[in-house]
Amino acid sequence: MFYNKIKEVEVFSLKSFYQRYQNFFSYTLFGTLAGALNIILFHQLEQKGLNYLLANIIAYLIALLFTFITNKYLVFETKHHSLEQTLRELIAFLHIRFLSFLLDLGLMFLGVQVFLLYKDLAKLLDQIVCGILNYFFSKWLIFNKKSA
* SS3 letters across 64-133: HHHHHHHHHHHHCCCCCCCHHHHHHHHHHHHHHHHHHHHHHHHHHHHHHHHCCCCHHHHHHHHHHHHHHH
What is the rounded CA–CA span in Å between residue 145 and residue 34? 23
Q: What is the DSSP letter of 143?
A: S
| pLDDT at position 136 | 87
Question: What is the distance between the alpha carbons of residues 125 and 135, in angstroms, rounded to a whole number?
Answer: 16
The average pLDDT across 85-90 equals: 88
Ranking 4-8, 76-80, 116-120 by mean pLDDT, the lowest is: 4-8
- C-beta of residue 141 within 8 angstroms of C-beta of residue 92: yes
Burial of 81 from C-beta contacts in 10 A (0-12 / 13-18 / 19+): exposed
Q: How far apart are CA 22 and CA 8, in angstroms?
A: 20
- Distance, in Å, from the CA atom of 145 to the CA atom of 69, rounded to the nearest integer, reads 16
Q: If pLDDT is split at 50, 70 and 90, which confidence band does 148 have?
A: very low
Q: Does residue 99 register a pLDDT over 50?
A: yes
**Mean pLDDT value of segment 124-130:** 91
Which candidate, 107, 146, 143, 142, places its Cα nearest to that of 123?
Answer: 107
Give 9's pLDDT tier (boundaries 50, 70, 90): low
Of 88, 125, 121, nearest to 103 by C-alpha is 125
- pTM score, two decimals? 0.72
